[in-house]
Amino acid sequence: MISFTEGQKQVDIFPAVGSDRPVLYLHTFGQEGREVWNQLKASGCPDFTLAAVSGLDWNHDMVPWDAPALSDTDAPFTGSADAWLRLLTDRILPQAEAAVPGTPAWRGIAGYSLAGLFALYAAWNTDAFSRAASISGSLWFPGFREYLLSRPPAPALSCLFLSLGDRECRTRNPYLKHVQQHTEDIAAFCRQQGIDTVFRLNPGGHFKNSTARTAAGIRYLLEPSPAADAYP
């Protein structure tokens, strides 16, 4: 593993064996990058480099605009996704890719929960990533569905993986209860745009099998096929 920091952010690089392999950027809440990497390598997935980014201000870096807190005990959202996307593409991508041999065959971006929201925001706002995975993505976020459906993704986007727990919409929360409908609407829109898009509904709520679900999303980007069903 190769690591470096950029400000308060840490980037852990799990390099490919060969050169000119895909590079996939995974935003993580903690240090789940190694767990996801180990699951993927144990599954015999194609050779690739994983760059796991941590140290994020979750309610700030991952969201595109301000929004109220989900409850009285939660912090409000203060959108700074544009600033983080610039830092990611201008500073972190060049440093990460200088540490691995060759030129990336393609770049992907993935994330769970709010990081899944950011993965889609990035796929609509930069050509840096040609594949994206939003796993249990926070696509309930106020105004986000409408934002995506009002404009096409960036031209580079060719492959999209979306997944959700089948109990995530079973809530009285006025925002969260719409997450499955929003996710399905976004999937349908992307298919209409000619993007290879899959939507998987997993058993359980938002926090069940998060590492395995993340590995499934990344596996699909690496090898779009029913092999993604190998994960719960």
Task: Tell me the angle at which helices 33-42 and 210-222 cross, rounded to the nearest 10 degrees.
Answer: 60
Superfamily of segment(s) 2-223: Alpha/Beta hydrolase fold, catalytic domain (3.40.50.1820)
φ/ψ (deg, to 5) at 114: -65, -30
Please choose, from the candidates 162, 48, 62, the residue with its C-alpha nearest in 3D space to the C-alpha of residue 108.
Answer: 48
Q: What is the mean pLDDT of the chain?
A: 92
pLDDT one-digit tens code per residue, 146-173: 999 999 999 999 999 999 988 888 888 7
In the chain, the percentage of residues whose pLDDT exceeds 90 is 81
In degrees, to the nearest 5, what angle opens at C-alpha 187 toward C-alphas 137 and 222?
A: 75
The residues spanned by each domain of the chain are 2-223
Please choose, from the candidates 2, 20, 21, the residue with its C-alpha nearest in 3D space to the C-alpha of residue 12.
Answer: 2
User: So what's the pLDDT on residue 229?
Assistant: 42
Enter the pTM of the model. 0.94
Pair 193, 163: CB distance under 8 Å: no
pLDDT one-digit tens code per residue, 185-212: 999 999 999 999 999 999 887 778 899 9
**Residue type at position 111:** G
pLDDT band at 227 (very low <50, low <70, confident <90, very high): very low
* Gap between the Cα atoms of 62 and 84, Å rounded: 8
